[in-house]
Copies of this chain bind each other. A is one copy, B any other.
């Protein structure tokens, strides 16, 4: 057997074990009895120990050394590229540092939840300081003398740099700030009001999942506190939640997670349980969830169809016609919370976090100054002051978990979705006529053929370029947003 074949056989089991660990995570959020939490953390730790040992197994290094990538086809080269990245990444982190990060972030999550509940930033800062210091050490280990934040970005978006993000975000911020101000200067459409039965929401959510091409025979939809998608290949499960006063939360969370899940389900079976058998990056993943949720799910054409479905399911929903429903779905409103934001304002939330976390990692922003920096920046971009920490710098769990470099991939996903949407419109000229009938098959089929089925074959940027035929940049997204919300809010052209 060749070194490549041996490596791939070994890696197959590693991928299978990673799927098992992932399914354990799904179980924890959906099925696990509450009294099992302590035992579960021992079980997860044992799985992580096994996976870590496999990722730095010296045989992997020997096989990698023995393989000449030039003798491989493009798929083989991509497999080796991904295995090498994981191997080298894992070997760079000293075991005791990894253990300390696991321990401190576990503690920090608990302290963050308490601090947020008590609106007590000061109670969170000491453990955040520990997390930041350890993540700086990790970043230095990964960076090998290069930029620490760039090194951390590679965990979520291989090939991306802070400089490239600066350029993208620099082009976006002034236009989004201006669009936001113009929109909020106009009268707002009404929010949805009324009571919406949770079971009916779940029935409609299941229907929407199928409408967007989610294969229920290789997945399932359950309720969880936070919506998520989990697993790769033939077992990709999603969750949503219900609020009886806000059915959009359930329905659009479902469409969002279906976007993630269809990416995983759509990957070529030839890559099953291999490094290429999963979404290539967080940003590309988010491009799928966002294009399903926003460019398709919140389009005028699709919301027209959804309006009929909602009236069939709930009866009168207090909205007179499709046009008003479209406006309500896309309502732009003030608010502090990123996850409750809209297409216009969402990326501003991300840029704020990107700038602050990068400054923290560089040592330019002491955690003691975080709250003030957050509040100043929020007021500058949004025009009003943060009223309490749970609406400000304590709103997201990410930093307590040690996720630095993750936030920007949310905005990158929107940028990528903009590019893909522009290309999709060109490829499927009658898309709106199909969406108006609740038919997403041409759109989701195009995404599957051009992006999803390739999994991790190409690096993130090339994945988008291959699918959209363009170098990824913010212009398509910005044009789309300015056109959509310009029309919705009857703005004068700039």
Spell out A's residues near B (CB within 8 Å). 12-13, 16-17, 19-20, 23-24, 27, 31-36, 38-40, 42-43, 45-47, 49-50, 215-220, 233-235, 237, 272-273
Contacts and interface: CB of A to CB of B under 8 A. Distances in A.
Nearest to A24: B20
A411 to B, nearest CB: 33
A33 B13 CA distance: 21
Contacts of A234: 33, 35-36, 38-39
Task: Please tell me how many copies of the chain the complex holds.
Answer: 2
A126 B291 CA distance: 55
Contacts of A38: 234
B33 A216 contact: yes
A39 B233 contact: yes
A203 B33 CA distance: 18
Given A35-B217, A39-B272, A219-B33, A49 B235 contact: no
30 contacts: A12-B42, A12-B46, A13-B46, A16-B42, A16-B47, A17-B50, A19-B39, A19-B43, A20-B20, A20-B24, A20-B43, A20-B47, A23-B24, A23-B27, A31-B31, A33-B216, A33-B217, A33-B219, A33-B234, A33-B237, A35-B218, A35-B234, A36-B218, A36-B233, A38-B234, A39-B233, A39-B234, A39-B272, A39-B273, A40-B235
Given A17-B47, A39-B19, A43-B20, A32 B235 contact: yes
- Between A12, A32, A45, A215, the greatest number of chain B beta carbons within 10 A of the residue's beta carbon is seen for A32
A349 B27 CA distance: 38
Given A27-B27, A33-B235, A46 B219 contact: no
Contacts of A272: 39
A47 B33 CA distance: 23
A218 B42 contact: no
Given A20-B47, A42-B273, 10 more contacts: A16-B47, A17-B46, A20-B46, A31-B31, A33-B216, A33-B220, A33-B234, A33-B235, A35-B217, A38-B234
A49 B12 CA distance: 12
- Between A13, A218, A235, the greatest number of chain B beta carbons within 10 A of the residue's beta carbon is seen for A235
A336 B399 CA distance: 63
A31 B217 CA distance: 11
A487 to B, nearest CB: 41
A19 B40 CA distance: 9
Nearest to A51: B50
A33 B217 CA distance: 5
Contacts of A12: 42, 46
B27 A215 contact: no
Nearest to A220: B33
A378 B20 CA distance: 44
Nearest to A36: B235
Contacts of A33: 216-220, 234-235, 237
Contacts of A34: 217
Q: What 10 pairs between A and B have smallest CB-CB spacing?
A: A36-B235, A16-B46, A35-B218, A35-B217, A13-B46, A39-B234, A16-B43, A36-B234, A16-B42, A17-B46
A318 to B, nearest CB: 33
Nearest to A14: B46
Contacts of A215: 35
A123 B31 CA distance: 41
Contacts of A49: 13
Contacts of A27: 23, 27
Contacts of A218: 33, 35-36
A230 to B, nearest CB: 12
A178 B315 CA distance: 68
A172 to B, nearest CB: 39
A35 B50 CA distance: 27
A433 to B, nearest CB: 32
